[in-house]
Amino acid sequence: MTRRIAVTGSASGIGKALVGMLTAQGATVIGVDRDTADVRADLSTDEGRTRAVAEVAELAAGRLDGVVACAGVSLPDPIAVSVNYFGVVRLLAGLRPLLTAAPQPRAAVVGSIAGTQPVDQAVIDACLRDDEQAALERARAAVESGAGSRLYPSSKSALAQWLRRTAVTADWAGAGIPLNAVAPGVVLSPMAAPLLEDEAMKKVMDEAVPMPLNGYAEPGVIAAALDWLISTGNTHMTGQVIYVDGGADATLRGPEVF
């Protein structure tokens, strides 16, 4: 049976690399992106998310063997919360019924090492209460107070916490659906390219994200980890945030966190 996999962020970077990998394995891939994709939708809005779920359901003919949410933005703006948190959790909730129709369903999301950096706790609390309006209000306040740079880390921290809570519930583990995250360090995708071109910014990033093992990663490296997480070989890993980060997490957080 050909596996049917939905991948968000399919037009660029990690998502695009994963689409190539899955297609080469013979899977049927349904790409979702605000750019060119099988399903064009803006995942920062409820309208876009609802339409994406409906169109994926139609293309998947009611059954999805895997969902991978890669779409994200790394801006110091409330949109980071809309896309990286609500754009992921709402889409996964919407697509879950299609996963339950598959014999060996799998799901994965993309976090970030940024999720371990300083955050805005009020934004995270609102995310975890599933209150998008409150999260966006707090995010706007963070921007006004000059703390906009905390929004991307907050969105990824909230996503990791949501994952830890959600993966083991009846809806996911109880329904036989492993749900995990890959958290990259710096990836050589169009998202990071402009930052790396700026010498001063590159220095800040290298200090914030030290990668002693092989430096910056190609998108395909992250895609390969996602590929395994949603493979049928993954029968028992769930609720994990896997740092594929060249050693950044182990360097920054040391031996106490494991």
Backbone angles phi, psi at 245, to 5 degrees: -140, 20
Q: Which residues pair with 182 in a beta bridge?
A: 110, 242
123 touches ligand NAI (CB under 6 A): no
Q: How far is the CB of 112 from ligand NAI (least distance, A)?
A: 4
110 touches ligand NAI (CB under 6 A): yes
Nearer CB in complex with ligand NAI: 35/58? 35
β-pairing verdict for 39-40 and 66-69: unpaired
The yes-or-no answer on residue 152 being catalytic is yes
Query: Looking at residue 177, what DSSP letter applies?
Result: -
Query: Looking at residue 7, what DSSP letter applies?
Result: E
Nearer CB in complex with ligand NAI: 14/151? 14
Q: In angstroms, rounded to a whole number, what is the distance separating the alpha carbons of residues 90 and 95?
A: 9
Do 42 and 76 touch, CB atoms closer than 8 A? no
Q: How far is the CB of 179 from ligand NAI (least distance, A)?
A: 16
Single-letter residue type at 144 = E
**Among 60, 71, 135, 241, which residue sits at the site for ligand NAI (rule: CB under 6 A)?**
71
Q: How far is the CB of 131 from ligand NAI (least distance, A)?
A: 19
Name every residue whose Cβ is closer than 8 Å to that of residue 109 and which is 6 or more positions away in sequence.
68, 69, 88, 92, 159, 163, 179, 180, 181
Q: In the window 24-53, what residues touch ligand NAI (CB under 6 A)? A: 33-35, 42-44
74 touches ligand NAI (CB under 6 A): yes
Q: Identify the helix (H) or strand (E) that includes residue 74.
A: none
**Among 4, 6, 7, 13, which residue sits at the site for ligand NAI (rule: CB under 6 A)?**
13
Residue with tokens 């660029």: 12
Q: In the window 170-209, what residues touch ligand NAI (CB under 6 A)? A: 184, 186-187, 189-192
Q: In angstroms, rounded to a whole number, what is the distance separating the alpha carbons of residues 77 and 149?
A: 8
Give the x-and-dash track for 217-236 against ligand NAI (CB under 6 A): --x-----------------
Residues in touch with ligand NAI (CB under 6 A):
9, 11-15, 33-35, 42-44, 70-74, 83-84, 110, 112, 184, 186-187, 189-192, 219
> Which residues form the catalytic set?
152
